[in-house]
Each structure stands twice: as structure tokens, then as C-alpha cells.
Amino acid sequence: MHNSTSEAACAAPISYAQNAVGGDAFGYDMRIFGYDWDRQEAPVIDYFNAEKNTNSATLYSAIHVEASVKVPIFEMGSDAVDAAMVFDNLLNYVQYYEMLINDF
């Protein structure tokens, strides 16, 4: 279905970033450091939180989500979206890369 030439062409930028630029540090799973982002995300989460921001109704109106039925209206990430997209996670898109490389 795919050939090694196009696979190598697609992998080259990632390999360069991981090995030459990143010193092979990108190979580690950075998600284990998610707690480091908690203090960075907290002000944004609190800003959109109706219980913590007394001006949230004005904010929701300004960004046109005041009629939203989603609870909470704002999330940094969504488990529902993740669940809906799970079947796309491991699809093989190599054929499209090959078309872009070979046909254009």
C-alpha cells in the first residue's frame, strides 16, 4: 500500500526534530507532566467558570454561547469529543501523503 520512499519522506522532518533538534528527548511521554500545566490553565478555567466569575453571563453573551446547553460551557479538553474521535486515532493516512508527494 505504501512505499519506503514516501514513508521516509514523511518521517524525515519528525526524525530531524526528535533527534537533531530535541536531542531525542521527544521520545518520552510528556503527558506525565500534565500537572505542571494545572497552574497555567487554572486562570482560564476559572475565568469561564460561572461559579468563580461573577461576570460569566456577560462573557458568555459576548462570545455568543449564552444559549449553550453544554455543561460546563467551557472545558480545556472534552472526554466526549475524545470518545467520538477514538476510531480516527489509528487510521493510516499514508496513501494521502503518497498522493501529495507523487502526484503533485
Note whether residue 25 is domain-resident: no
Note whether residue 20 is domain-resident: no
Note whether residue 64 is domain-resident: yes
Query: What does the pLDDT average to over 23-33?
Result: 60
In tens, the pLDDT along 87-101 reads 877 777 888 888 888
User: What is this structure's pTM?
Assistant: 0.47
Note whether residue 78 is domain-resident: yes
Answer for the pair 3, 97: CB distance below 8 angstroms, yes or no: no
Note whether residue 5 is domain-resident: no
Q: How many domains does one find in the chain?
A: 1
Note whether residue 56 is domain-resident: yes
Helix extents (H) in the chain: 4-15, 35-48, 56-62, 79-85, 94-103
In tens, the pLDDT along 30-85 reads 566 666 777 888 899 899 998 999 999 999 999 999 999 988 888 888 888 888 88
Range of the domain at 86: 31-103
Q: Which of 83, 87, 85, 63 is nearest to 74 (CA)?
A: 63
Map grid coordinates 498522493 to a residue. 99
Map grid coordinates 458568555 to a residue. 60
How far from 40 is each of 35, 46, 52, 67, CA to CA, in Å?
10, 11, 17, 28
Q: Looking at beta carbons, which pairs linking 23-27 to residues 24 or more positions away fall under 8 Å?
A: none
Note whether residue 67 is domain-resident: yes
Note whether residue 58 is domain-resident: yes
